[in-house]
């Protein structure tokens, strides 16, 4: 995925802004303290890292994509940006007081090794807060009605919550808790299901180019056909019926918190 994000990194920042509500949930769940140091693993262009740092907290942003980090560094030189991966951060043992990870687990090459590394760099008693989505949640997006192959491939790359939980526990984490997140109409971070309430977003090339599912798992023919069908349904009003058929209470995304002990 590093090659993918080196490719899309240039325009990624145009549509992937730090969403205020998600930022507030990170702060509520992490409970950071001034004077301590935190890690944003898989930070990308650093939107969440920078926003959390602007709140007065000291953050390190680690990502395997040099293109992403170049954008992050230009935007905010006050954060310690470093090339690295979840499996090999290059940080010292017990050197950070907490970790955040936003929509990155599905890009890790080795989930168990990644959580093992997170446990290693976390001080005992430190928290890790993850924002992710599960196969069941993503499989419940109405996008599957229009882009079935893309969504099938997207679901296939996602680790299940059960696997995440096992990997966290195996690494030494405990007190694992979850909180469902449902996409809101005013969402500022235009990730995959950002158009849940506003299907028009998917007609914007810049939005699709900032979403890894469209960039990595969709073929041009399916996207063109799906958008054509979506346009027809919007104009006829059938989209409301489609959206209603896919409604569920699974949550669209998931916050997972765990503590190093």
Residue pLDDT, tens place only, 156-184: 999 999 999 999 999 999 999 999 999 99
Asked whether the predicted pLDDT for residue 189 surpasses 50, the reply is: yes
Cα-Cα end-to-end distance for the chain: 31
pLDDT category at 3 given cuts 50, 70, 90 is very low
Residue corresponding to tokens 């030494």: 172
**Is the whole model's pTM more than 0.85, yes or no?**
yes
Alpha helices in the chain (DSSP H): 2-12, 20-30, 47-54, 66-75, 111-121, 135-138, 148-156, 161-171, 205-209, 212-216, 220-236, 238-245
CA–CA dist 100, 128 (Å, integer): 6
Q: For residues 177 and 217, which has the higher predicted lDDT (pLDDT)?
A: 177
Residue 8 has what pLDDT?
Answer: 44
Q: What is the pLDDT of residue 215?
A: 84
252 in Cβ contact with 182 (< 8 Å)? yes
Q: For 2-135+153-192+250-260, CATH number? A: 3.40.50.150
Residue 217 vs residue 120, higher pLDDT: 120
Query: Token digits for 227?
Result: 């958008």
The position carrying tokens 């994000």 is 5
Domain definitions of the chain by residue range: 2-135+153-192+250-260
Residue 16: the pLDDT is 86
pLDDT given at position 15: 86
Given its phi and psi angles, is residue 41 left (phi above 0), alpha (psi -120 to 50 degrees) or beta? beta
Q: Which range among 24-38, 170-184, 214-228, 237-251 shows the weakest confidence by mean pLDDT? A: 214-228
CB contact set of 11 (below 8 Å; sequence gap of 6+)? 206, 209, 210
């Amino acid at each position: 995925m590093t090659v993918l994000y080196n490719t899309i990194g240039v325009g990624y920042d145009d549509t992937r802004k730090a969403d205020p509500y998600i930022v507030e949930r990170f702060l509520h769940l992490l409970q950071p303290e001034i004077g301590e140091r935190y890690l944003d693993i898989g930070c990308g262009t650093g939107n969440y890292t920078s926003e959390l740092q602007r709140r007065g907290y000291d953050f390190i942003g680690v990502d395997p994509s040099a293109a992403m980090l170049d954008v992050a560094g230009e935007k905010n030189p006050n954060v310690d940006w470093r090339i690295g991966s979840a499996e090999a951060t290059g940080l010292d043992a017990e050197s950070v007081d907490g970790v955040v990870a936003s929509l990155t687990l599905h890009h890790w090459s080795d989930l168990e090794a990644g959580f093992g590394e997170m446990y290693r760099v976390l001080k005992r008693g430190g928290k890790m807060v993850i924002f992710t989505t599960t196969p069941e949640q993503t499989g419940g997006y109405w996008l599957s009605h229009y882009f079935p192959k893309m969504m099938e491939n997207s679901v296939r790359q996602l680790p299940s919550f059960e696997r995440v939980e096992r990997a966290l526990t195996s690494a030494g984490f405990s007190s694992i808790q979850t909180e469902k997140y449902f996409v809101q109409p005013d969402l500022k971070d235009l990730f995959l299901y950002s158009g849940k309430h506003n299907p028009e977003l998917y007609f914007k090339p810049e939005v699709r180019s900032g979403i890894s599912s469209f960039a990595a798992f969709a073929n041009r023919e399916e996207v063109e056909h799906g958008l054509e069908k979506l346009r027809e349904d919007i104009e006829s009003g059938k989209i409301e019926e489609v959206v209603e058929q896919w409604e569920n209470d699974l949550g669209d995304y998931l916050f997972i918190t765990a503590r190093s002990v």
